[in-house]
Amino acid sequence: MARAQSDPTPTGAAPTRSAARAANRRGPSRILLVLVILLAVALVAVAGVVAVKVIGAGESAAAPGDGCLVADVRVVADPAVAGALEAVADDLGDSDAGCAQATITVEESAQTAAALAGGTHPEFDVWVPDSAMWPAWASSQAELEGEEAPIVVGDTVATTPVVFAATEETAAALEEQQAGFSSFAAAPVAAVLPDPTTVASSSAALLALQTALAGDARTFTGIVLGLATGVVPTADDALAAASAAPSPTVAVTTEQAVHAFDAAESADLVAVYPADVNAAVSVPFVTAGSASDETLAAVATLSAAVADAEDVLAEFGFRTAEGAPAESSASDTADAASDPVDSVNQAEALRTWQVLTAPSRMLSLNDVSGSMDEPATADLSRIDLFEQAAVRAINSLSSDSSIASWVFSSRRIGGQDWQEVVPMGPLSDPAHKQAMIDAANGLDGLVGGGTGLYDSVLAAVSYMRETYVPGQVNLVLLNTDGFNEDDDGLDLSALLAELEKLHDPANPVAVIAIGYGPDTDQSALEQIAAATDGAAYQALEPTDITTVLVDAVTQRGCRPYCG
């Protein structure tokens, strides 16, 4: 029986045909040779590579079409599919019929994809990832670097629907409510999402969510940022959380993952099929671009065998390539075939997730000119409302974000219009977070003077450009209630020209500008935002300040495409 291990580095080799023939000729040394062969096989098992269907001694490889592999095949398989693949390969032909050898190395799909994206030449003949998204992602990442991933995506051999896994009680309630991906907006239950950067079912779920929301980017962004706070590393972690949660909780995963978890953990989780988008993850065979014709013929034989092995696929929780379940189910929804998601769009959904959840590095540039003291309500001034909104915005940021606070009016330090209040620092530092909150609550004590808008914006963008940190969302959050009043500084055209010089589309420093009240020069804010690939908001009513500010902060990662 073939066994697949997880360590991909072989330290031994399978016995050869010449060794077998020599053993037949040298009777007295046969026992010693058998011991050597057993030791070699043991080393192979430790190394994580399993030999399946070794060519018989003194025999040649079988011809194509007789159920055997015609050439040795090196296979890299995701852990989720390795068991089913091994079972099929183990039953493919007979060692006495001259079948060639297949080796199966177990490796996470994200790891294989990352290597291919980085330009590593495939060390396999065929790769069987747990989703067609991974080769699409690897190819697109390679293209960004001006390279080409040397792989060819072949036929789909299996599928598995994206589901919500829950306890029986929670599942019954969700099915009665006809819950779907769009239900996340109302948050009827807590949802646990495996890390989309390593678990393909999560990026498929993100694409399904986009579809269910009909392109509502703002709602999608809000849901994604909510899901990001509860992300766990693996599907098993998500399933364990749903199983043990004291309150109604679902794990966003696949039907196959629920099947495997219940079998391994003796759990009793139920797969709930979303009522709005019926999505599925497809499992393809991916060949190396340099594979020989003989190898491709062997791969085709193995691929066809897996696609035809419906009973084996069902045993490991997979459906057929067409998406139909191998066995009937009491649930009409479960019986229906699921539609495999588009792999390219799924890869794009992953990139969207990475942008939205990237750590932020934000400079909050706050107007403290005299007009901010004007009444906004019967009891509160504009600066009072902004202070409350600023505290909420700070609390909405994740702990892996960094933030600084500047204020501006006119001639705060000599002829300089801007002033640093809190230097850049991580919100993971409780002292820094508290300093930011204290600074927000103390803005009313800094109010006075005119509005030195343009010089302050240029200084803030220049600072963020000079201290730019790759891999993070670097931005300036501009809050103002007026228009530029510094006649000695830059005018708008000069500011836009300077911003154009500083702009780097590949490494942008976006300005997200928020105008408070009807006196704001909203046209100028929109031009500033456009020059930096940012966005401009306006809160016409005083009570809109909190909503607009928190909305702008939480959507910082998708600018300028939030909708």
pLDDT in tens, 444-470: 999 999 999 999 999 999 999 999 999
Identify which of 1-10, 285-294, 380-389 has the greatest average pLDDT: 285-294
Domain-wise residue ranges, the chain: 17-156+283-315, 160-281+343-354, 358-558
* Protein fold of 17-156+283-315: D-Maltodextrin-Binding Protein; domain 2 (3.40.190)
Sequence-distant (6+) residues with CB within 8 A of 213 are: 181, 182, 185, 219, 220, 223
Highest CATH level, class, for 160-281+343-354: alpha beta
pLDDT at site 319: 94
Kindly report the pTM of this predicted structure.
0.70
Query: Count of residues for the chain?
Result: 563
* CB-CB contact of 341 with 281 (8 Å): yes
pLDDT at site 316: 95
pLDDT at 34 over 60: no
Highest CATH level, class, for 358-558: alpha beta
Distance CA 495, CA 487 (A): 13
Distance CA 241, CA 239 (A): 5
Count the alpha carbons within 13 Å of 307 in the hemisphere toward its beta carbon. 16
pLDDT in tens, 391-407: 888 887 778 889 999 99
Fold equal for 17-156+283-315 and 160-281+343-354 = yes
Q: Which residue has the higher pLDDT, 484 or 143?
A: 484
Residue 287: how many other CB atoms lie within 10 Å: 23
Q: Which residue has the higher pLDDT, 123 or 28?
A: 123
The whole-chain average pLDDT of the chain stands at 82
pLDDT at site 430: 95
